[in-house]
Amino acid sequence: MAGGYDDHEGADLFGDDDFFDAFGEDLLSTLDLDTWSQGLDLASVMARFRKEIANAVDKESVVRTIIRQQVLPKISANSGGGAEEAGVYKATPEELATVHQSLLFSGKVEAVNGISTSHESLPLGITQIGIAAVSYGGTTGTFSQRLFRKEMSDQSADPVRDAIACINLRMERSASPRKESLSKLARRGIRTYAERAVLVDKSEAEWRIGHGNPCAHELITGSGYMSLLRASLAVLRRLIQQHKKFVFVPSALEERGILTIGHALQAGEYIIFETLERFGKRVVEHWKYGDRSHRLAANFVRECCPDVISGVFRASDRTPPRSFYAHREHVHLAARIAMADSILRPERGFPMLLDVAEASCRSAFGEDGFMGLVHDAYAQAGANLQFFNEHTKRH
């Protein structure tokens, strides 16, 4: 075929029929610029938005009713891969009020969240990681670390050779971004590890709230680094096998199937689905480990992941459902703690302590202050803005 294209080479690509099913119009028509609007006709845009959104909401209401009537009653340990505790549960207002008074407002619950901010320029990369632990009892702690990426040593016997090596290294990174992606993965892994380490080793509260999946992908894999893998699994073992009283809540529920089921919940309801064993096995199966690291990760998944249960709760009818993770011995109280903290901001339906911890991080280690220090340091070095040639990437 002209141009060397073979239809079989594109067999794994999405077809035009899939595009039509998703968007309700032909792909070639979409690619034809004559069908595009010129400028912004606000009236027609708003009319179409209202029509599409109204239709989608109506259809979702029908799906929600069917799920409540036909799907939720069938969720149990026998529904396929579910935990023994699988099912739909309801937390009463009285139970949540008790959690407020006996645990949250008495300072027996502490949340940990973190942020990372990076500056990348030609000669240097700087990453700042900040972690905050907060509770309603008035205790707040912050922890920070700063990583510096350097490509040339301060002293060299052969500066010409080192300069050429530096050029080759940067060319290699541009052509094959594997090393750079591993570096970024490591930074994310360090922040995720630090959040859990603070939660386990620095917090003294009876209950701990964390962000995301406790057994995050970057921790079970070590982000490609053996030292990070060992440290991560050790912290997670202490969390799961010793402490046990924790609940983790991600800021976004990305599994669309679970999100669909979660939207069928009423305020105060929660579902328990399954343990993290299947998730952990999938991570270990698809990640490229060495022999020792594979053995460490597989042993951890086998010994610890069956004790962590995943679920979804809904704190308010006005907010989206949230997924949560907890130890199976305390999963019902953990769900109530997450909901009780989430209803303090009914317009968001997300644990308020996690938001407060993130706000504390941004106040202490936010991007504005970080970049102010970076700009000042470059100015003091006589570089001014010559290395600030990067713009925000398009999404």
Structural contact between residues 200 and 248, judged by C-beta atoms closer than 8 angstroms: no
- Amino acid 54 reads A
How far apart are alpha carbons 44 and 69 in whole angstroms?
Answer: 38
pLDDT category at 153 given cuts 50, 70, 90 is: very low
Taking residues 364-391, report their average pLDDT: 65
Provide φ and ψ at 207, rounded to 5°: -115, 145
Structural contact between residues 229 and 283, judged by C-beta atoms closer than 8 angstroms: no
Q: What is the DSSP string of 78-119?
A: TSSS--TT-EEEE--HHHHHHHIIIIITTT-EEEEEEEEEEE
How far apart are alpha carbons 231 and 322 in whole angstroms?
Answer: 29
Structure tokens of 378? Answer: 């470059």
pLDDT of residue 286: 93
Work out the percent of the chain whose per-residue pLDDT is above 70.
77
List Cβ neighbours of 203 (8 Å cut-off, separation of 6 or more).
110, 112, 133
pLDDT of residue 9: 45
Report residue 387 CA to chain centroid gap. Answer: 31
Taking residues 69-89, report their average pLDDT: 80
pLDDT of residue 241: 97
Structural contact between residues 110 and 135, judged by C-beta atoms closer than 8 angstroms: yes
> By 3-state DSSP, what share of the chain in percent is helix, strand and coil, each rounded to 5?
55, 15, 30
What angle (nearest 5°) sits at the alpha carbon of residue 38, between those of residues 32 and 42? 125
pLDDT category at 181 given cuts 50, 70, 90 is: low
Q: Among all chains, which residue has been given the structure tokens 């090596």?
A: 165
Structural contact between residues 235 and 197, judged by C-beta atoms closer than 8 angstroms: yes
| Entry pTM | 0.79
How far apart are alpha carbons 70 and 64 in whole angstroms?
Answer: 10
pLDDT category at 122 given cuts 50, 70, 90 is: low
List Cβ neighbours of 132 (8 Å cut-off, separation of 6 or more).
112, 113, 114, 140, 141, 142, 143, 357, 358, 360, 361, 364
**pLDDT beyond 50 at 154:** no
What digits encode the pLDDT tens for the residues 316-342?
A: 888 889 999 999 999 999 999 999 999
**pLDDT beyond 70 at 77:** no
pLDDT of residue 100: 95
What digits encode the pLDDT tens for the residues 198-218?
A: 999 999 899 999 999 999 999
**pLDDT beyond 60 at 152:** no
Which is higher by pLDDT, 163 or 65? 65
Angstrom CA distances, 275 to 311, 336, 361, stand at 9, 18, 31
pLDDT of residue 180: 47
Taking residues 128-137, report their average pLDDT: 88
**pLDDT beyond 60 at 16:** yes
Taking residues 115-142, report their average pLDDT: 78
Structural contact between residues 132 and 142, judged by C-beta atoms closer than 8 angstroms: yes
Cβ neighbours, 10 Å, residue 11: 8
Nearest to 185 by CA among 218, 154, 213: 218
pLDDT of residue 255: 80
Nearest to 130 by CA among 147, 112, 141, 142: 142
Taking residues 264-274, report their average pLDDT: 92
pLDDT of residue 253: 79
**pLDDT beyond 50 at 307:** yes
Average pLDDT along the chain = 82
Q: Among all chains, which residue has been given the structure tokens 């069908």?
A: 35
pLDDT of residue 43: 76
pLDDT category at 275 given cuts 50, 70, 90 is: very high
